Amino acid sequence: MRKELHEAWAQTLEETLALRASAEPDPARWLHLVDDEVVLVHPITPYRSYRKADVIDNRVVLMGVSDIIADAASLQVSHMKLSSYISIACNPTSPCA
């Protein structure tokens, strides 16, 4: 029983992180996996900006599916910007190491 519970938890976590990584905008897909009152806490990263209300005790605290969706979209924008900087720095005449 305990092993099955752990496997279900791990699968739900994996699916939830996949939604975040893909910046899934549909709340129904999130609500299939987590409660609307879910709380996600993660460290502040230097390459992103955050809403002042989301920063508590030097951590980012996202409350609810709508906050997590907004943060996931912001993360995707940051990733695209970073990728464009890398592609500018890495070209055929100046390959990346």
pLDDT given at position 77: 60
pLDDT the model gives residue 94: 58
Say how far apart CA 47 and CA 36 lie, in whole Å: 28
Q: Convert the pLDDT of each residue in 46-97 to its tens digit.
A: 877 888 999 999 999 999 999 999 988 887 665 555 555 555 556 656 556 5
pLDDT digits (tens, 9 = 90+) for 7-47: 999 999 999 999 998 999 999 999 999 999 999 999 998 87
Cα 36 from Cα 73, distance rounded (Å): 18
> Where would I find the beta strands (DSSP E) of 1-95?
39-43, 55-56, 59-63
CA distance linking residue 37 with residue 24, whole number of Å: 18
How would you class 30 by CB atoms within 10 Å of its CB: exposed for 0-12, middle for 13-18, buried for 19 or more? buried
68 three-state secondary structure: helix
> Burial letters for 38-74: b for 16+ Cβ neighbours within 10 Å, e otherwise?
bebeeeeeeeeeeeeeeeeeeebebbbbebbbbbbee
